[in-house]
Structure 1
């Protein structure tokens, strides 16, 4: 049965009120979803969160939180859906199809310049967690940023954070965004195929895809945005990336719901900071391993340092993101961005 706009709005309001009245579920340090008490289960209400690629390690906290049972402990039934690109998730949020997005923080700045107010409420990572990969067939030709001129460069999709950062690197190399061809190749298998078939010379990739490209001898690391040192060298500072962001009006109207989400995600980040990569991998779906658990564990190990342990926005991070975006989007200088409205530590500060 197809619901009309007013009916959907009514359902959304009812779900939100149910969460507000019920509050967050009782937290327990070692509970799983199956061990939540009947009383807590009775409070479960649905909230939809779209993720810019559930299988990507940069967004791994979303599925991990679900599998650890932390959403249920907070009285939430969170429905996670996956999109190949963060920009698609952002559009779903703006359209009111979902209540939250696990994606890059930079979308909140980009959308404020376009008159849409989004707000980050939990910061997962301190850097992009990606690498710019160069085809092994072309690596002798592409040795510096200036050499990106005239190249076909793979991004997840137009307007995605991968597109933002490739624009920045091309511009930093002395070229303009018109001096290369951005091709939307997605992630995972489609990205690997594009590089293998020579459709792109260079591509943005995240773990475990980067490890697969290297393992298959298809591509090598050109720019490291995965390690903290590499990201700082390439971008000039900390670039807060993967996060949970929501519509600012929703955050203001539903603080209890947002607090429950913050509780769950911060608990996951603390779990990640106190467990090994193998222990974390054991809590994730086997299909995430891409057929090679050892490789996945190694990829996860190389990525863990980028995650925060408290969900807080790194100091100076928003300013760095705005600086990067402004380099290739001069109109941002005239947009009068209020960074204080693009994120908040209010909820993660209250997590016990």
Structure 2
């Protein structure tokens, strides 16, 4: 069962509802306050029940946003690409999604910056179906196959294209299928809709538990990520528009303080303790499997919200291999504008 979350339709109607309340909005790049005078921040999560984005909901569950005196509203979209679009439309102030979007969007003349880094690896894996496992033993076998991604333009799509390009296979040589995550991904894998696909926990754990497939390329660990991508690939992060960050440093600092405290909490608690803090329906009725999915994916998390050394360059190298827009602007990309450690430094 998917968690009960605010959907995009509700988000679109939200401004009308807020107009009837005492919350006020000013001109500082979308800054607003609630009736108690606390800053309000809406954050879109690219799949709030995915383990890769667990720190977002966990921070709320632990009460750290409230502790910092910031009114954070978490919303969700199943795809990081969709979450990014809502941010660009000015409907939210931040996205918990993959850092690589800040690089691709800079190549398109837009400025987004990661203010706190939640993961140093993608936390994703290429999973092959049991039926296709005999003929698909690695990325070199992608040609002619149906490969699932969350959605076109998502980070799962980026990584799939890179693994293919690294093995001399063009995107036109295989079929890209929008498979989503969770139940839709599992259905596509089991009914032959895809031969393999890029996904995350708890979907990975469910696929393995049901005997529907196995991990082909594992990027949940540092070792697996270095082997697949040539270095650490900073993934899950909180990124915001550069203008908003510049105009609202105190609010951003409060949000980052909360996330940094959560990352330290994760580092000092085991998977069962982490799972116990999450909403009950995130486990989908199988708490033991949910604990396993957190344990399997937890190596991806940073301990303090810092950007891993050399990570941004790895991301640029990966995107510059297959993404035509990034490739054309690769030498002009200013990585120092795609992330900042200033807020994490103060939080520490």
TM-score (norm: length of structure 1) = 0.90
Q: Which residue of 2 aligns with 1:328?
A: 322
CA drift of 1:17 comes to: 6.1
2:168 and 2:254 map into 1 onto residues whose CA distance is 46
Q: Which residue of 2 aligns with 1:105?
A: 99
Are residue 66 (structure 1) and residue 60 (structure 2) matched? Answer: yes
Count of matched residue positions in the alignment of Structure 1 and Structure 2: 329
2:14 and 2:175 map into 1 onto residues whose CA distance is 41
Are residue 255 (structure 1) and residue 249 (structure 2) matched? Answer: yes
1:91 alignment partner, SS class: helix
Q: CA RMSD in A?
A: 2.0
1:347 alignment partner, SS class: helix
Are residue 339 (structure 1) and residue 324 (structure 2) matched? Answer: no
Structure 1 residues without counterparts, runs of 5 or longer: 20-40
TM-score (norm: length of structure 2) = 0.91
Is the 1:43–1:75 contact (alpha carbons within 8 Å) kept by the matching residues of 2? no
Q: Which residue of 2 aligns with 1:82?
A: 76
CA drift of 1:2 comes to: 8.8
Tell me the alpha carbon deviations over residues 14-73 of structure 1, each in whole angstroms, 9 at most, x when there is no partner.
873649xxxxxxxxxxxxxxxxxxxxx944332100000000000000000001000001
Is the 1:43–1:76 contact (alpha carbons within 8 Å) kept by the matching residues of 2? no
Is the 1:93–1:99 contact (alpha carbons within 8 Å) kept by the matching residues of 2? yes
Q: Which residue of 2 aligns with 1:270?
A: 264
Q: Which residue of 2 aligns with 1:117?
A: 111
Is the 1:44–1:72 contact (alpha carbons within 8 Å) kept by the matching residues of 2? no
2:344 and 2:57 map into 1 onto residues whose CA distance is 19
CA drift of 1:330 comes to: 4.3
Tell me the alpha carbon deviations over residues 136-157 of structure 1, each in whole angstroms, 9 at most, x when there is no partner.
0010101122210011100000
Q: Which residue of 2 aligns with 1:25?
A: none
1:282 alignment partner, SS class: helix
Are residue 201 (structure 1) and residue 216 (structure 2) matched? Answer: no
CA drift of 1:314 comes to: 0.6
1:273 and 1:42 map into 2 onto residues whose CA distance is 33
The counterpart of 1:129, out of the listed 92, 98, 123, is 123
Q: Which 4+ residue blocks in structure 1 deviate beyond 4 angstroms?
A: 1-4
1:243 alignment partner, SS class: strand
2:31 alignment partner, SS class: helix
1:13 and 1:208 map into 2 onto residues whose CA distance is 40
